[in-house]
Homo-oligomer: A and B are copies of this chain.
């Protein structure tokens, strides 16, 4: 069915389950007002693909709901450029949507699939599991501070860190590989502590020990704000869209192979335990004075 019809028709295979994710981005809330339209197009799809990655799903199609102040053709063209560059990279097809005039507000709904019963959930963590994260953490939050002029950096570090904010890489291949080894998985959109909290809560009021000295930091993050602030950003900064997962220690060799296979850094940062709450080790408390309880742009 073309985009012209009232709805879109999709067909799922018999032994597959459809996974649906949806995310909204509002100007001034989820991104600075002057973010380039290309970056908005890219990021709107990327944050949804990241949700699919965290469920171990393969993306297939998406719907758009765009509310835009003016029917500005340049804006739409640039937005589309960013959007479709990523859509093509991951082979996802636009199958429908809705556009309206109003205050800038962008939603995408993405459909993917898993082999029946293989979806990665948040609720499978076990006491004794290792705690892993992909990539480096805190970069996007530092990038946001750079865009807002709260921090300064040389052009090279600026490009890298703002790029991490505006162009997160959906960890689709990693998510697919993790289906066989992880017990629980989430993408880090609100900050490590907040999103790890989701896994622990939904796995039955478990807790975790996080070794702050093990947090993966980029050289650029450390160069711009020093190790102590970079660690705070890694713990509580949002928008990284890296993957946080738990797995039995017996899986460590398989997980270390995934690093090369998926070409993404994977770091063990701690472990899950029965005692609830998140305990931070490998740090003096001095490091943590600036930490707020997660990056909340969503409610309730």
Contact = CB atoms under 8 A, between A and B. Distances in A.
Interface of A: 1, 4-12, 14, 17-30, 51-52, 54-55, 57, 63, 65-67, 71, 76, 95-103, 105, 107, 109, 111-112, 114, 116, 119, 121-123, 186-187, 198, 202, 297-300
A101 B296 CA distance: 11
Nearest to A18: B10
B105 A67 contact: yes
B1 A11 contact: no
B122 A21 contact: no
Contacts of A11: 12, 17-18, 116
30 contacts: A1-B119, A1-B121, A5-B123, A6-B52, A6-B54, A6-B186, A7-B19, A8-B21, A9-B20, A10-B18, A11-B17, A20-B63, A20-B96, A20-B109, A22-B96, A23-B65, A23-B98, A24-B66, A24-B98, A25-B100, A26-B103, A27-B102, A29-B100, A29-B102, A30-B100, A100-B299, A102-B103, A103-B103, A105-B105, A107-B107
B22 A98 contact: yes
B7 A57 contact: yes
A298 B10 contact: no
A103 B100 contact: no
Given A26-B101, A99-B300, A8 B19 contact: yes
Given A8-B19, A11-B116, A18-B11, A65 B24 contact: yes
